Amino acid sequence: MQFSYINPTQIEFGQGKISKISELIPKEYRVLFLYGGGSIKKNGVYNQVKDALNNHTWFEFAGVEANPKKETLDKAISYARENKVDFVLAVGGGSVIDGAKYVANAFYYDGDAWDLLDGKFTPTKALKIGAVLTLAATGSESNSGSVVTKGETKEKRFFHSPFSYPQFSILDPDVLKSLGERQLVNGVVDAFVHTCEQYLTQPHGALAQDYYAEGLLRGLTELANTFETRDDLWYANLMWLANQALNGLIGLGVPQDWATHFIGHELSGLYGIDHARTLAIIQPNLLTILADEKKDKLLQMGKNVFKLDTNNPLEVVEKIRTLYSSLNIDLKISSYTEDKDIIEKVTSLLEKHGFTEFGDRGTVNKEVVIKILEKSI
Ligand code: NZQ
Ligand code: ZN
């Protein structure tokens, strides 16, 4: 086992923490306050942030959409430059935080910011970022990843940058209470699949990573099972479980398999399907097709997460599928689009993006993707 680990993001967790922004951003910084479609104006978060920025010079940019678009974010970059900002404060879910990362990393770059996503540009400096998380799902508030969609080509791509770790992230679970069921379910599922992508691979014997991942999966399963009776602690648990699922810890020095995400991203890019729903559709079918090669970890998951006594990995896959169905998720792509060329479009985009042999063993090739998609349509 070998790894380097640093996660520099300061976490401020708990009720009423938004007011801390006033101390967390140096007073002399000019702040870009970046947010989405307006949910923060309805639930009081906008006013809390505004109050906390009382002694700062700040500028607001609204309208970062779910599955954030390059075209919108490029406007945010111009606006940030016009106003000579020093700091980007993202107030929203993964989309707004990912958008802030794109803006911050491209701020000093003269070329097309999309070059970040195509791997043609590696930043050497960037604006600093802070986040107020309003949707617990992606872990973006504590990691260096960012996912952006180019509207023109419907390509959804990701980039990592060491400058993308927020300086701080504020996690006030009360903020989650204005989320509708659809987004809360998305949060549970996205965090569950993040954990699986770093766990359902092959035996490696790294006990901290395995057992911590199992703890997160058990916690998330419990949240799914108590969804209808959620209380304050439920929201707090979702916020922290989702953070821990993708802050880098459980994937240290162990094999990872992001195949479900890579296929899912193409589906969101093409059809605008919620990120978590693409995962819920694809993952059980991918695990069915790869049940033999993932047998050991699936059985370990069955025993340690679901308390299942079985030697059949497909029974464990069925447990996962049932978990998603119990959250009322449609598990067929055809529920979201009438397009008849899904397989052709997804496979050619995957190829264009260099995903020809992926998964932790490199066994997910075009033929396997086609089998997975056939089961998913
Ligand atoms: O735009 P507003 O009006 O704020 O509404 C949002 C949005 O419509 C709403 N919302 C957010 N907080 C709310 C709220 N509504 C009521 N009350 C609140 N407190 O929820 C909708 C969805 O928000 P979004 O930010 O898109 O959701 P999520 O956090 O699931 O982010 C999804 C994006 O993150 C990417 C996904 O691909 C997708 O683009 N991911 C980012 C990752 C990362 N950076 O590490 C990893 C993930 O695997 C994922 O790929
Ligand atoms: Zn995800």
Q: What is the rounded distance in angstroms from the CA atom of residue 123 to the CA atom of residue 150?
A: 20
> b/e map of 57-80 (b: 16 or more CB within 10 Å)?
ebebbbebbbbbbbebbbebbebb
Q: 280 pLDDT band (50/70/90 cuts)?
A: very high
261 belongs to a structural domain: yes
The whole-angstrom distance between residue 139's C-alpha and the CA centroid of its chain comes to 6
Q: How many other CB atoms are found less than 10 A from the CB of residue 26?
A: 11
Does one domain contain both 59 and 166?
yes
- The question of ipTM being above 0.95 is answered as yes
Residues across the chain: 377
The pTM (predicted TM-score) of the whole model is 0.98
211-249 pLDDT, tens digit per residue, is: 999 999 999 999 999 999 999 999 999 999 999 999 999
Place of tokens 């997910």: 364
Pick from 135, 146, 257 the residue to mutate for probing ligand 1's pocket: most ligand atoms within 8 Å of its CB: 135
Domain count, the chain: 2
Q: Calculate how far, in angstroms, residue 193's C-alpha sits from the geometric centre of ligand 1.
A: 16
- CATH classification at residue 113: 3.40.50.1970
Does one domain contain both 170 and 214?
no
Does one domain contain both 111 and 197?
no
Residue % of the chain over a pLDDT of 70: 100
Q: What is the rounded distance in angstroms from the CA atom of residue 260 to the CA atom of residue 23?
A: 40
Domain stop point among 118, 142, 175:
175
58-111 pLDDT, tens digit per residue, is: 999 999 999 999 999 999 999 999 999 999 999 999 999 999 999 999 999 999
Does one domain contain both 73 and 141?
yes
Q: How many CA within 13 A on the CB side of residue 320?
A: 29
296-334 pLDDT, tens digit per residue, is: 999 999 999 999 999 999 999 999 999 999 999 999 999
List residues near ligand 1 (CB under 6 A).
36-40, 43, 66-67, 92-96, 98, 134-135, 137-140, 143, 145-147, 175-176, 178-179, 183, 186, 190, 246, 261, 268, 275
Which residues does residue 89 pair with via DSSP β-bridges, in sequence order?
33, 130
Does one domain contain both 171 and 68?
yes
- CATH classification at residue 252: 1.20.1090.10
313 belongs to a structural domain: yes
Predicted pLDDT of residue 5: 96
157-200 pLDDT, tens digit per residue, is: 999 999 999 999 999 999 999 999 999 999 999 999 999 999 99
5 belongs to a structural domain: no
Q: What is the rounded distance in angstroms from the CA atom of residue 313 to the CA atom of residue 290?
A: 10
Does one domain contain both 116 and 34?
yes
Q: Calculate how far, in angstroms, residue 52's C-alpha sits from the geometric centre of ligand 2.
A: 30
The tokens describing 326, both together, are 């119990």
The atom of ligand 1 lying closest to the CA of 268 is 37
Residue % of the chain over a pLDDT of 90: 100
16 belongs to a structural domain: yes
**Nearest alpha carbon, ligand 1 atom 25:** 93
Domain stop point among 156, 175, 194:
175
Mean pLDDT of 251-273: 97
